[in-house]
Structure 1
Amino acid sequence: MNEVITENAVSWIFPGAVPLQQLQHYRETLADNFINSDLEYLEVYGMQANAIMSTDWPNENKFQYLQVLDDVFTDLADKAGCL
């Protein structure tokens, strides 16, 4: 990881970080997948997590996608009363 100092704040940039636009598109697509699936949210979550972990991406990229998956799952499951 590389440390970047910007205006008195320190942030970390992962090598090969996924562009924000790509993660936003994934978030929108993922929300549609959860909502339009005939499966339970937890089943969709498991399939998505398995697909992410099965890729040959660097671990940092997998982590970013898993964070989006967790956020979307938590938000939708909470709204549906599944948590």
Structure 2
Amino acid sequence: MSNERFASVWDAIEDTPEAAENMKLRSVLLTALKNHLTRTEMSQTQAAKLFGVTQPRVSDLMRGKINLFGLDALVNMATAAGLHIEMRVLEAA
């Protein structure tokens, strides 16, 4: 058994650093969207109309099915929800 340590779960389970970074960004956006919909008590039907997607697609979002969402789709949904996205790029340690 390996005692290797990782900075995040994505670093541990993804095959490449690029895939891990992509999943980190997607997870932040997905979580922000879920929290926003819960906080505003928006129904899945209302959210679907706002995002321009189907209600089952919003259901997938709320159930955390991250592999079904790309960065572009999540950015578009967050923007439609009125969320402001900021990004920082740092040099690798």
Tell me the TM-score range normalised by the shorter chain.
0.3 to 0.5
**Bigger share in strand:** 1
Query: Which TM-score applies when normalising by structure 2?
Result: 0.30
Query: Which TM-score applies when normalising by structure 1?
Result: 0.33
Query: Comparing both chains, which one has the higher relative contact order based on Cα–Cα distances under 8 Å and sequence gaps of 6 or more?
Result: 1
